[in-house]
Chain A
Amino acid sequence: MLTPVVDDDGAPFWEYAARGELRVQACAEPGCGELRFPPRPCCPHCHSFDSEWRRMSGRGRIWSYVIPHPPLLPDYAAQAPYNVVVVELAEARRIRLVGNLVSGPDAPLNSVAGERIRIGARVQVVFGTGVGDGRDGPRLPRWVLERP
């Protein structure tokens, strides 16, 4: 499986994810506080370079989804057809995370059938134990249906 190729701006996201926390970068300037994603060096609203990582509730709704079929990279082809979802966060609908809808934290990418997915469905974040068989890679935020 592909693991995130992390840059300086994105590193904190993955460090929090390793602890099972979903955090989004926010401007730390008093009076601004805009959330931004993906992470980047400065705030496009007030141009402050100070940022903090705000903890999210982990609740959201499915904004869209796809079901990829081969040809795909081998590890993904092995689980295809699987789903990829875009989730808009409950706290900030314009913060949208790409992820997978799964039946549990360590379930495979195809553990929720495509017919069960719909735009607008409420979802909750979970964190698997790690990417790949070794279970020692980065922990990805994954999503389960609030009402399975």
Chain B
Amino acid sequence: MTGRTLDRVSPAPSPAVAIVRQRAGRDDWVVRAGLVVLALYLAVSIVLPLWTLLSKSFQDRAGDFVGLANYAAYASNPALVRSVLNSLTVAGLTTAITLALAFVYAYGLTRSRMPGRGLFRAVAMIPLLAPSLLPAISLIYLFGNQGLVRDWLMGWSIYGPIGIVMGEVFYTFPHALLILTTALAVADQRLYEAADCLGATRFRRFMTVTLPGARYGLVSAGFVVFTLVITDFGVPKVIGGSFDVLATDVYKQVVGQQNFQMGAVVSAVLLVPAILAFAVDRMVQRRQVAQLSGRAVSFQPRAEPFRDWSLFAACALVAFGLLAILGMAAFASLVTFWPYNLEPTLRHYSFDLMDGGGWASYWNSLKMAGLTAVVGTAVIFTGAWAIEKGRGAGPLRAACHLLAMLPMAVPGLVLGLAYIFFFNPAGNPLNFLYGTLAILVMNSIAHFYTVGHLTAVTALKQIDPEFESVSASLKVPSYTTFRRVTVPVCLPAILGISIYLFVNAMTTVSGVVFLYSPDTTLASIAVLNMDDAGDIAPAAAMAMMIVYTSAAVKLFHALATGRLLRLTQRWRAR
């Protein structure tokens, strides 16, 4: 599960299609056929693989059904059980720390008039551009036995829970921040005025007005962070030392010991917290909707120098921490031989001389991310449109919507393993996909489907259903309306989805670590393999290539969007 880096939206099925019931025409059948194709696609790329994976956990090596025997073996292995405890510990600690930091940061961004808010917002998003291996590599340079500031740890080792928690805080920070800024951005000025009139102290006002208003955001952010940490594999792989967690156990079972059945069992265990978090999050969000009434007066922070500068100091500290971790990786990739020869060099970027697939893996990543963005956006947006605007076929639309929401609860590692089980057997007609770039693209689209879907749905809901009614009465086929009205209107959201898919496909490790072949090594996997071989500086260099690429694409996207909006969205202005 990855975070929701796009706008938070409520996914409740739309009542917007309040159209007079008509008999389904040819046009409707086209949409319905589209829905069937979509449902089949989602079944093949998500449901069937997961089903195969779960059934594997009930089989022995020969494929015979053995009931819960694998689970019993799992429970009786003290090393594996300890991983559950380890995972819960680091996830709990990370959640507490990230929430505290992100809350203060979000409070500064939304409720104060501290200077530099735009810059702070931009800096906080940096971790989204990097694979989770990057903070772990960087932390070794900072706090390892030869680390720049290892004394700060006062004799504690960075290899283990401390390193994992620090790396995960970096990795999850923007996810928590996005949710909390959304939660804090909406507040009712009148509540604060009332509190002031009643003579409430600043502290009391915070406890009785601010915190309750943000509690759903906090719960939601907490679950997102918790799930991200439980399922992340990059940070503990690089810096975990002997501290095993669930995610590394799956990898160890599958890659190290070729024990697929036990890998399936650990995957099933890994699904539990993710699904739990997902369910609670959905419940919480449903209640969040009613928070702000139509008569609310939106909150405008007044200048308060003491508060503003205190928040500025706190945010600066966090932003500095984020930049230091990124900067350390950039620096490490340019140093000849850390720590003995600090002369600058570019030789660590000669990837062809290292383990992991060389420059080819970088180009593969670009191709994979590009295809994921283009194909994924087309599938997701058209699918969302058919679900939102199609008439009739209610159960089918509901089913598609449900399938689209499912990937959010499935960790990348689990989905990757599920793909092996489903696509690898020679009996599967789709077996030819195995080992190709196409399966990586398919896996990435499935992995990041939900956020794109929700974004598309939100954008589509903004279009008045009148358009469809008018087109229908003018006998314009709905796909023409789609092309001439829907797509242009939703262009900002479409670009948003594509960039989200691109960046996530560039940085993902867990989803694809089981699926790449010698021809389709990826940059993020190369980082992992280089670190494995002890080539830490080249690993940092490749991780930085991913950051530079994601940042460049984001920048280009921002410029392009600005231009496009000026060209196509003029109608929005009055």
A and B from one assembly?
Answer: no
Interface residues of A (CB under 8 A from B): none
Interface residues of B (CB under 8 A from A): none
